[in-house]
Structure 1
């Protein structure tokens, strides 16, 4: 029983560390500089990672990010009206 368990353990470790398994996906190229715009938008954020994640999602969908670090959402209506599951603004 022990050799079978050891063999299964080794096989599972080899398969999970295989370079053939793709673990990350590259974001789709939107033609709009979302990374740069979101870095600027989230520069003063308290929780920067969450801000960058949400901004990136909004940017890919809306293809725009308002200027500045806060407000100015009227520059990008799609960005302004996106809501999360709690009903509050999704986009920072």
Structure 2
């Protein structure tokens, strides 16, 4: 019986440790996204408006890092980033930060296109 309780305690300690590590790594990825946003350049768009430069590849890799299908997520994110010039911070949620362009884009099946 003591062996089972020790194994259970060890399992719980390892689970808490892994959860803490996951939170630390997700906060690091949020900081990387913020670096991409703050280091942005301004480029002229085709309609002469000043558009912020966003490194879509790096931002989408961070955004899709925890996705169950990262290649599919990166492809959709890249399309949304190139059209909207924005990628929300974090690995999920925060879609409203990029505005209606990002939140209103739908697939042919009427699902949200942008991750």
Number of the residue aligned with 2:113: 90
Higher strand share: 2
Instruction: Tell me which stretches of 4 or more aligned residues in structure 1 moved more than 3 Å.
Output: none
Measure how far apart 1:81 and its partner are: 1.0
Deviation track 1:14-66 (CA, whole Å, cap 9, x = no partner) reads xxxxxxxxxxxxxxxx9420001101100100000000000000000000000
**TM-score (norm: length of structure 2):** 0.53
**TM-score (norm: length of structure 1):** 0.65
Number of the residue aligned with 1:66: 88
User: Which of 69, 73, 76 is the aligned partner of 1:51?
Assistant: 73
Q: Which has the larger radius of gyration?
A: 1
- Gap runs ≥5 in structure 1: 1-29
Q: Give the paired residue count.
A: 63
Tell me the distance in 2 between the aligned counterparts of 1:31 and 1:65: 11
Higher helix share: 2
Tell me the distance in 1 between the aligned counterparts of 2:63 and 2:102: 12
Tell me the distance in 1 between the aligned counterparts of 2:105 and 2:82: 12
